């Protein structure tokens, strides 16, 4: 199955801006806006998976608090963790 990169990017942009909490909408929206055009196909797929994590755990991960589960360490999670809003 072939992945349409443009459609995947549109999906990622939408999901990053409409999370449910205003704080995460802004944080993830800015994060995605900064990096989306620099990411390779594999990283876009990882970002899509990363956006499936709920807001509470992403917020806690970003701020160095405990999360309910281990968030996979990959290029996307490292970029997010080091992202300066």
Q: Which domains does the chain have, with CATH numbers?
A: 5-82 (1.10.150.250)
* pTM attached to this predicted model: 0.93
pLDDT (0 to 100) of residue 4: 94
The CA angle 73-16-6, to the nearest 5 degrees, is 95
pLDDT (0 to 100) of residue 1: 60
Would you say 50 and 76 are in contact if contact means Cβ atoms under 8 Å apart?
Answer: yes
pLDDT (0 to 100) of residue 41: 96
pLDDT (0 to 100) of residue 68: 97
Per-residue confidence in pLDDT tens, the chain, 85 aa: 678 999 999 999 999 999 989 999 999 999 999 999 999 999 999 999 999 999 999 999 999 999 999 999 999 999 999 999 8
Alpha-helical segments (H) within 1-85: 5-17, 22-35, 41-50, 55-62, 75-82
């Amino acid at each position: 199955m072939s992945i349409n990169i443009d459609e995947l990017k549109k999906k990622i942009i939408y999901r990053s801006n409409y999370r449910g909490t205003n704080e995460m909408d802004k944080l993830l929206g800015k994060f995605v806006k900064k990096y989306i055009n620099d990411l390779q196909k594999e990283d876009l797929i990882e970002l899509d998976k990363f956006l499936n994590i709920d807001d509470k755990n992403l917020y806690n991960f970003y701020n160095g608090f405990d999360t309910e589960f281990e968030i996979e360490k990959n290029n996307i999670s490292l970029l997010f963790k080091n992202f300066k809003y």
